[in-house]
């Protein structure tokens, strides 16, 4: 077994105030960098509590090199009990909090068992067109003359759908028709349709999504998250 030494980029510390034309970077050692980070994290923990800081834990294989650099992992401890390694970083938004929203992302577990609409409908913009633009150009229209919808081959097989079949995608808001395209990379409960087509009878994605259901923070609609079903067109 051979041990390959790890190469690190030099560490630089800003010595001028933020916003200065010249940051006046100064090279520092790893010990100084870890001490600086430790001091600032401890200050945050003392002022706002240990839960105000989230840390990203390295892969277990990297723990040895981390310990070798710092001498120990004690500098990661902000309270009497060490922080649990979550392998993720959460961004805490003070503005969201003061506005009455959750300051960190929260997963809302919607009802997944829906007999009428068992599939999840998402959408994607294809490189041929720019949203709803340029669809009248002959050269582009020749490359993609009809709206497409992608689904997993197994999902298609259970519904008697084959490549290039006309299919109907239906949600509680409405339905459209599109050509089927099989895509093994999609999950079996996911259908990926296209938006930007304007024909109400073929491909107008707006017919399938709500015009009243919007995210309260971003104002985004359900363009990429709806429940649907898909069947071969008659």
What class does CATH assign to 119-232? mainly beta
Write the CB contacts of 113 (distance below 8 Å, at least 6 apart in sequence).
none
Q: How far is C-alpha 197 from the chain's CA centre?
A: 25
**pLDDT, tens digit, 9 for 90 and up, residues 143-190:** 888 889 999 999 999 999 999 999 999 999 999 999 999 999 999 999
Bigger pLDDT: 217 vs 58 = 217
How far apart are the C-alpha atoms of 190 and 200, rounded to whole Å?
23
pTM of the model: 0.56
For 31-50, write each residue's pLDDT tens digit.
888 888 888 888 887 888 76
Distance of CA 185 to the CA centre of its chain: 17
Look up residue 153 and give its two tokens.
């081959």
Region(s) of the chain under CATH 2.40.40.20: 119-232
Residue 204's CB: how many other CB atoms inside 10 A? 18
Enumerate long-range contacts of 3-7, CB under 8 Å, 24 or more apart.
6/65
Read off φ and ψ for residue 134, nearest 5 degrees. Answer: 65, 15
Q: What is the pLDDT of residues 180-220, one digit of tens each?
A: 999 999 999 999 998 888 765 577 888 888 888 888 887 88
Measuring CA to CA, how many Å separate 33 from each of 65, 91, 144, 224? 16, 23, 55, 43
């Amino acid at each position: 077994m051979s041990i390959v030494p790890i190469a690190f980029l030099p560490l630089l510390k800003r010595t001028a105030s933020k916003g200065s034309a010249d940051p006046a970077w100064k090279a520092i050692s790893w010990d100084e960098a870890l001490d600086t980070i430790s001091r600032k994290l401890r200050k945050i923990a003392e002022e706002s509590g240990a839960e105000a800081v989230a840390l990203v834990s390295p892969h277990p294989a990297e723990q040895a090199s981390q310990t070798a650099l710092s001498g120990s992992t004690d500098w990661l401890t902000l309270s009497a009990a060490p922080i649990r390694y979550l392998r993720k970083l959460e961004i805490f938004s003070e503005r969201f909090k003061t506005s009455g929203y959750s300051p960190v992302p929260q997963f809302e577990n919607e009802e997944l068992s829906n007999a009428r609409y068992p599939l999840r409908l998402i959408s994607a913009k294809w490189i041929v067109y720019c949203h709803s633009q340029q669809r009248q150009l002959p050269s582009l229209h020749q490359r993609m003359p009809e709206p497409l919808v992608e689904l997993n081959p197994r999902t298609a097989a259970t519904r008697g759908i084959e490549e290039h079949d006309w299919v109907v995608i239906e949600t509680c808001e409405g339905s459209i028709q599109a050509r089927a395209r099989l895509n093994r990379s999609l999950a079996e409960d996911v259908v990926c349709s296209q938006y930007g087509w304007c024909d109400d009878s073929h491909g107008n994605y707006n017919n399938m999504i709500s015009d009243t259901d919007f995210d309260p923070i971003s104002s985004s609609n359900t363009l990429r998250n709806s429940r649907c079903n898909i069947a071969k067109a008659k």
